[in-house]
Amino acid sequence: MGRRSCMRTMSLVVICWSLGAGLVSAQGAWGLQNRGYYEPLIAEVRAANVNVQFWGQSDEFPFMQTPGRRRIWDIGLGKELGLFGYETGNGGRAPLGPGRWGVGVWMPVSFHVVEDFKDESAPIINTDYRFSGMVKGQYGLRERLQIGGRFQFGHESTHLGDEFTLGAQKDDTFERVNVSYEYWEWGTSVEWQTDTVPSHELIVRGGGIGLLDNEKGFYSATLLFPEGGQVAASKRNYETTVGVEWKMNGLRDGGGALLGPYWPFVSLDVRHRTIYDYAKASADVDEEKQWSFNLLIGLRRADRTYLQKGIPNFYFRIYHGVNPHGQFRSERDYFMIGAGLQVPV
């Protein structure tokens, strides 16, 4: 992580707190609280949530010491820190009603790690770090129907594990690429809840991610290993995102009691990802892209109250597309299945 990135982040913190200090005393203002504007989807890749995929089977990563399919853990830890905002309803207790609106500033911080259990040393393969400044908002179109949006500037830095790197360097073709970039992201959302028994929630989203430095691209052209080596910088600088999520909130008996504590959900995150090409002839050559699908099917507690955090969702996961881990985003048609817990925080 460079000095300029750290300085930009510290400047953003100071600006946010300076603006927030004058707002939190106003009627309708809030500070350091949760709000339900544009909550991350359960399946959102690299969202600032807690994700513990304790079992996984995946395609082989390049340069592993033991060939074949992998046994992996895929762990993510993060939080969207709500700094301050303003609203005309009460977005801390329920989705905003007809004509009500709210807007706020968040600071998402997270890291994500994948570990291999097939090689003898059980190496950390890759770790991704992300932080950003984010503005999110929601507007109530009518009862049980809201639209929302978010916009953020962020930084992602990725790092290969030391044990993996030491083993990979035994291969003369191994290159260590510094995948690190600043990005901007936008998204829109439609969220609908039924008044039926059982009730259902449906969320549909669309958006995109672009780079702040188009000349540098997604990674540095100077290799970390071998020292002094060069690769062509990336050219494509924008990726489209789509998401859909459905949740059932449980069936109740005549007395209002839930008939069972867990009820199903389906969450899908889709991204048109760039396939990094470190071997292309020049930086002017376009990389190929591939639609990448992250599907989670599972169970969630139906007795949670609105915005109640810390209660895990149990899931089974299927991923297919561009490998989502750091330097390995040069690998297309990567396939992985797994099971674990996702915890809203």
Count of other CB atoms within 10 angstroms of residue 113: 18
| Cα–Cα distance for residue pair 105/135, rounded to 1 Å | 5
| Cα–Cα distance for residue pair 248/265, rounded to 1 Å | 6
Q: Which residue has tokens 């991204």?
A: 271
| Cα–Cα distance for residue pair 134/79, rounded to 1 Å | 12
Strand-pairing partners, residue 210, are 184, 238
Q: Are 30 and 86 a contacting pair, CB within 8 Å?
A: yes
The reported pLDDT for the residue numbered 14 is 53
Q: Are 318 and 295 a contacting pair, CB within 8 Å?
A: yes
* Per-residue 3-state assignment (H helix, E strand, C coil) for 60-119: CCCCCCCCCCEEEEEEEEEEEEEEEEEECCCCCCCCCCCCCEEEEEEEEEEEEEEEECCC
Sequence-distant (6+) residues with CB within 8 A of 38 are 136, 137, 138, 148, 149, 150, 187, 189
Instruction: Please list the pLDDT of the chain residue by residue as tens digits (345 residues).
Output: 455 655 565 565 555 555 554 555 456 899 998 898 999 999 999 999 999 999 999 999 999 988 899 999 999 999 999 999 999 988 888 888 999 999 999 999 999 999 999 888 899 999 999 999 999 999 999 999 999 999 999 999 999 999 999 989 988 899 999 999 999 999 999 999 988 877 899 999 999 999 998 888 999 999 999 988 899 999 999 999 999 999 988 666 556 666 667 889 999 999 999 999 999 988 889 999 999 999 999 999 877 778 888 889 999 999 999 999 999 999 999 999 999 999 988
Report the number of distinct structural domains present in the chain. 1
The reported pLDDT for the residue numbered 306 is 81
Residue range of the domain that includes 78: 3-343
| Cα–Cα distance for residue pair 118/134, rounded to 1 Å | 39
Whole-prediction pTM: 0.88
Count of other CB atoms within 10 angstroms of residue 224: 15
- Domain with residue 11: its CATH number is 2.40.128
Tokens read off for 97: 């009603």
The reported pLDDT for the residue numbered 1 is 47
The reported pLDDT for the residue numbered 177 is 94
What are the φ/ψ torsions at residue 326 (nearest 5 degrees)? Answer: 50, -125
For the chain, what percentages of helix, strand and coil (3-state, to nearest 5) are there?
10, 50, 40
